[in-house]
Structure 1
Amino acid sequence: MSETAARTLAEHVGLAAAVLDADGRIAFANAAFEERFPASEGATVEATLADATNETAGVDRVTDAITRVVEDDAVDEADAELTVTTDTPRVYHFRVVAVDGEDAAAVLEACNVTERLESTPRVGTILGRIAESFYAVDDEWRVTYWNDKMADRTGVPADEIIGEVAWDVFADLEGSELQARYEAAMASGESTTFRTYLPEPFDYWVEARVYPDENGMSVFSQDVTEEVERERELERYETIVENANDAVMIKDCEGRYRLANDAVAEYTGRDTEAILGRTDEELFGAEVGERIRERERTALEEERRITYEERVPTDDGQVVFETTRIPFYEGGELAGTIGICRDVTEQVAYESRLEARSEQLELLNRILRHDIRNDMTVVLAVLDLLSEHVADEEGADLVEEVGERAQHVVDLTATLRDLMTVVLDETEHLQPVPIAGVLEDELADVDAAFPRAITRIEGDLPDGAVRANEMLHSVFRNLLKNAVQHNDQDLPEVVVSATATDDAVTVRVADNGPGIPDDRKRKVFGRDEKGLESSGTGVGLFLVDRLVDEFEGSVRVEDNDPSGAVFVVELPRWRPDTGFDAP
């Protein structure tokens, strides 16, 4: 359209019209335009639409349409609507059409849609093409207008609903909040905007802008289901953030706080209002602030999530955070970082104590394994030599007693060494261990250590392996020694037997000692059940229980016949098809 044609159209068209320049300002307005908008009279030329209509609320929708047509060559026309507040609110539909001219860029047409001038074909065309769903009813709720968007959304074409009572066509909406709000607006004559949920069979949210007058009511209706769901999801997230124990924050790309929950305020000792808009340098000082900022830069520059440990001074001392920084985007552009800081101060302190304790245990373990054990080996060797030079019986008894005590120390260091291996988690991964070889080795050692005891294997030991590791030797070493050391018979006897199924191997270590009462059968595996001053180690059975549990097996005590106790150990078999070699 040429500039001349635009002015001619603006002068003679029945609608209120104006010609806009390249800046979107009014270059010319016809008489109908000035009559519709008295605020523009005498001050129309070079006025903006906001100046001309004397409106601010909602005018952005129209100015956005003007901008699209004026600035985008690909857009020839656009539509928008605006409520103009005069004595009675009026709803105008604006249509912007591109113009080809030096001083003109577009024609702006304004149509008062509240009057529902269906007799004017131009109005019907405009209302049919607007982006929102629009309809009108008279004061008896008969539909007088129904645009294409309403037909598409409801599946009811205009020719089937015009002249019909709205509540007869949509009987499912009778008694709904929508009907109640419409009737209230009609009764009061006041414009209103509200959102409501339409129940089945509609099942969506609408935003209705209602403009009643003496003849009925006009409604702009928009499906806002997605927006409502986003808002509800945002509310849920905000509730989670505000009630989270973790400090949660959002910062822009310059490191300034845009959001901080109550936990951030608590940790910093400042109100949320004193945090927003500030940087960590301003809150914590240059050194700490720059350290935090460097981490944020990493997340921003590499556009990835990072997690690290961060120490931040507070008014009460220092807090250790496990911090995660995540870049976030707005409109497809990198906008800043989301930070989640979990207070791990107590956890870090606990881990430090554990580390110190582990170091102390490792030192003690080295002393037990090397220094004490080596020294006691020398003591035993010297006692053997000394026994050859002691002639009287009393002296020989003393040498023998010292030797027994020394051997007890050696046994004790071996048990404690095994226990610390478990405590320090230095055991190997579970693997196949031949059960027969372990039992034969440990029986041979007990025979050598206790020559006055009888030890034997009853029946054949099963072939194959169980799921265990090198600490399986410690299990049976402690059970066999326990059977001898706590035996009250002049001639201790220990019998070992084993059976196997497809899934497990069961080993029974039976003795002829005093037995164990029922009320102590479980307690004997307690760490403090036996004192270190006794002939046993006091922790041997506790160690047995711990190790068997690690092997995913079980251990229990039964009565022997006619006397004594039977320790029953069940261990899972290792089968090649499992490929089992896990921690």
Structure 2
Amino acid sequence: MGRDREADGDADGGLSAGEGSDATGERRPDASVGDAAPPVLRSFIDAIPTPTLACDPDTRAIRAANAPAADLLDRDRGALTLTGLDDLGEAERTVAGEPIGKAVADARDAGGVARFEWTVSDAPLWRLELAVRAATIADREWLIVGLTDVTDRVSAERRLRSQLRVTDAIAATVPAALFECTARGTLSRWNDRLAADVGYGGEALSATALPSLFDEETRDAVADALRSVYGDGAGAECEATLVTRSGERVPYRLSLGPVTDGDEVVGAVGVGEDLTEASVREERLAVLTRVLRHNFRNDLNVVTGFTERAIAEVDDPELAAELERVVDTAERLLRVGETSRRVERLLADRPAPRPTDLADAVEEAIAMLPPALRERADVEVDVPTGITVSAVGYLAEAIAELVDNAIRHGDAARPSVSVTAAELPSESWASLVVADDGPGIPPAERAVLTGEETPLEHASGLGLWYVNWIVTAGGGSFDIGETKTGGTRIEIELRTPDGE
């Protein structure tokens, strides 16, 4: 930083006759004795607490500088009074592109304070803001120049512009509509995808209220999502019908999030997704699934009926046993079809987790079992009351699926199945265990949870998939193990509401 080296009375601008001449004896226009700064000018500049210079209005030679200016410019005050204002920087023009001399002259003629910025150095960056005004001191006109270092602000602006360029590049690349809203819920920025979706170009969307882009039936959902973002400072999602400029109605999904400044929500950002293709695809898949399932069920019922008639007519025990296998296979495939219907319903509903009494869910699951199946096994239930877990509404179906599988696949004359539950020591999780005395689950069945299935070794049914999807939809986990006797032990861990 600059040092104040006023060792004598001439160091701050009072020059001697010798100091006003060069080696040839010719007088320098910026250092003549007659141009020396009067004491009152130096006193005036010294009294200003911010970096300030006093310059000759004609030559722009510096005649006085206070200590803050010397510190800012990293020069002695005496050295500063031997230079001109133009010599402080490398550039000959202001940031706006105007010559320094003209900017100062315009300030002199303006009759007030004129401000301009000057990049004193590019490497490293150093930029000053100059506030220039003409003043009469000691019966003479002077230019009083206030200096402010704006380098940090300029550097921050450059970083921000760089970040904005990256953001704009991302927004142009992402195959989704991106936008930003003000605190009033009006659009302030958006990418080309949103403009294409609504059919407006240029600045036509500027200051448009986001809900106004949607039809009357669904715009309240958009407004509610925005209020949630601004009020709670958390993300929100909704689906609504976008109305394009041409009047086309487009199914649309919005995901919104807050823009915060400290603790205050000052705006919102969002992602919009045209659901037209997804809706058409889902509709076609639903039709295909219904048709296939209907034909699948009807044809298998025909197979089962004819096979059972054949069993009744044959006298060969071996042939009858083979026909029984046909019936068993057909019934298993019918159960797969039924499970696929339940999976389709689960995926369509997108259920949200809710507090669920675990004992009630187990009781409901046992009641779901076919009576004939329930009567051929010993099912022991030990689930304490008062355990509440966070789960989707299909939890009872998942438990019923596990007990059903345990009974059907048991190789004992009378399978034994236990359903137990307990709160884990962490007090934020609860465990439900379904264990049996059967032969265990084949590796191909376990692979549904590890992703280790191969094209030639898929799981034989949808049951474990269905259970896994229900459990994970509620934020829980699902694990397959073995009992001490070699049977299957399936553990479901579910969060308790206090642990969320």
CA distance 1:176–1:559, shift in 2 (3 Å): same
2:352·2:474 contact (CA, 8 Å) conserved in 1?
A: no
Encode CA deviations 1:461-510: one digit per residue, 9 max, x unaligned: 53565432342233223322433455455654322233357655432211
SS of the equivalent of 1:145 reads helix
1:499 alignment partner in structure 2: 422
**Corresponding residue number in structure 2 for 1:570:** 493
State the Cα distance separating 1:413 from its structure 2 match.
Answer: 0.9
Separation in structure 2 between the aligned mates of residue 307 and residue 463 of structure 1, nearest angstrom:
48
Deviations 1:185-221 (A, max 9, x none): 7257977758589xxxxxx95527799xxxxx96521
Q: Which residue of 1 aligns with 2:146?
A: 222
In structure 1, the residue matched to 2:477 is 554
In structure 2, how many angstroms separate the alpha carbons of the residues matched to 1:230 and 1:425?
Answer: 52
Secondary structure at 2:130 match in 1: strand
Equivalent of residue 366 in structure 1, options 285, 290, 313: 290
Question: Shift in Å at residue 550 of structure 1?
Answer: 1.3
Q: Deviations over 1:230-249 (max 9, x none)?
A: 6555544544455541469x
1:512 Cα deviation from its structure 2 partner? 1.8
- Cα shift at 1:404: 1.0
What is the identity percentage for the equivalent residue pairs of Structure 1 and Structure 2?
A: 21
1:513 maps to which residue? 438
Q: How many pairs does the alignment contain?
A: 351
Paired residue type of 2:489: V
Question: Residue deviations 1:40-59, cap 9 Å, x none?
Answer: xxxxxxxxxxxxxxxxxxxx
Tell me the CA shift for residue 527 of structure 1.
Answer: 5.8
Q: TM-score under structure 2 normalisation?
A: 0.51
Residue in structure 2 matching 1:296, options 191, 200, 203: 203
Equivalent of 2:400 in 471, 477, 480: 477
SS at match of 1:299: coil
Task: Indicate which of 71, 82, 90 corresponds to 1:186.
Answer: 82
Question: 1:417 and 1:224, CA in 2 relative to 1: closer, same or farther beyond 3 A?
Answer: same
Deviations 1:386-439 (A, max 9, x none): 7666666456435423321221111111222233334x3424333344444543
Q: Distance in 2 between matches of 1:364 and 1:381?
A: 26
Residue 510 of structure 1 aligns to which amino acid in structure 2?
A: A
Show the 5 A alignment for 1:41-190.
138=37, 143-146=39-42, 151-154=47-50, 170=67, 177=73, 179=75, 183=79, 186=82
Q: Deviations over 1:515-566 (max 9, x none)?
A: 469x9997452466499999x7433223322221112222223331233221
Kept after mapping to 2: 8 A contact 1:492/1:513: yes
SS class of match (2:206): helix
Aligned partner (choices 412, 421, 425) of residue 345 of structure 2: 421
The whole-number CA distance in structure 1 between the counterparts of 2:281 and 2:397 is 24
CA distance in 2, matches of 1:143, 1:247: 63
**Is the 2:423–2:429 contact (alpha carbons within 8 Å) kept by the matching residues of 1?**
yes
Contact 2:419 2:435 in 1 (8 A): yes
- Counterpart contact for 1:446–1:481, Cα < 8 Å: yes
- Which amino acid in the other structure matches residue 408 of structure 1? R
1:540 maps to what in 2?
463
CA contact (8 A) 1:530 1:538 kept: no
Question: For the residues of structure 1 that align with 2:374 and 2:129, how far apart are their CA atoms?
Answer: 94
Q: Which residue of 2 aligns with 1:404?
A: 328
Equivalent position of 1:44 in the other structure:
none
Q: Show structure 1 runs of 5+ residues with no match.
A: 1-87, 91-113, 118-135, 159-164, 198-203, 212-216, 249-262, 268-279, 281-287, 312-321, 323-341
Matched residue SS, 1:507 = strand
Deviations 1:322-359 (A, max 9, x none): 9xxxxxxxxxxxxxxxxxxx999xx86xx666445433
In structure 2, the CA distance between the partners of 1:89 and 1:481, relative to structure 1 (3 Å rule), is farther
1:207 to 120, 126, 130: 130
User: Is this contact kept in 2: 1:515–1:563, CA < 8 A?
Assistant: yes
Aligned-partner residue type, residue 511 of structure 1: D
State whether residues 307 and 323 of structure 2, in contact with CA within 8 Å, keep that contact through their aligned partners in structure 1: yes
SS at match of 2:75: helix
Aligned position for 2:23:
none
Corresponding residue number in structure 1 for 2:183:
none
Separation in 1, partners of 2:287, 2:306: 27
CA contact (8 A) 1:521 1:556 kept: no
From the superposition, tell whether residues 564 and 220 of structure 1 become closer, same or farther in structure 2 (CA, over 3 Å). same
Contact 2:444 2:457 in 1 (8 A): no
Residue identity in the other structure for 1:417: R
> Secondary structure, in 3 states, of the residue corresponding to 2:349?
coil
Alpha carbons 1:507, 1:570 under 8 Å: kept: yes
2:111 match: none
Q: Cα distance 1:440–1:187, how it changes in 2: closer, same or farther (>3 A)?
A: closer
CA distance in 1, matches of 2:160, 2:336: 59
Paired with 2:406 and 2:276, the residues of 1 have a C-alpha distance of 41
Amino acid at match of 2:79: E
CA gap of 1:461–1:372, structure 2 versus 1, over 3 A, is: farther
Q: Return the letter of the residue paired with 2:145.
A: S
Normalising by structure 1, we get a TM-score of 0.45
2:478 alignment partner AA: V
Distance in 2 separating the partners of 1:219 and 1:116: 19
Higher relative contact order (CA 8 A, sep 6+): 2
Q: Is the 8 A contact 1:471 1:547 kept in 2?
A: yes
What is aligned with 2:378? 455
CA shift for structure 1 position 378: 6.3
Q: In 2, are the aligned partners of 1:453 and 1:493 still within 8 Å (CA)?
A: no
**1:524-535 pair list within 5 angstroms:** 525-526=449-450, 529=453
Cα offset for 1:304? Answer: 8.7
DSSP 3-state at the match of 2:465: helix
Distance, in Å, in 2 between the alignment partners of 1:420 and 1:305 is: 32
- Contact 2:392–2:473 at 8 Å: present in 1 too? no
Q: Which amino acid aligns with 1:363?
A: V
Q: Which amino acid aligns with 1:397?
A: A
Aligned residues of 1:447 and 1:454 also touching (Cα < 8 A) = no
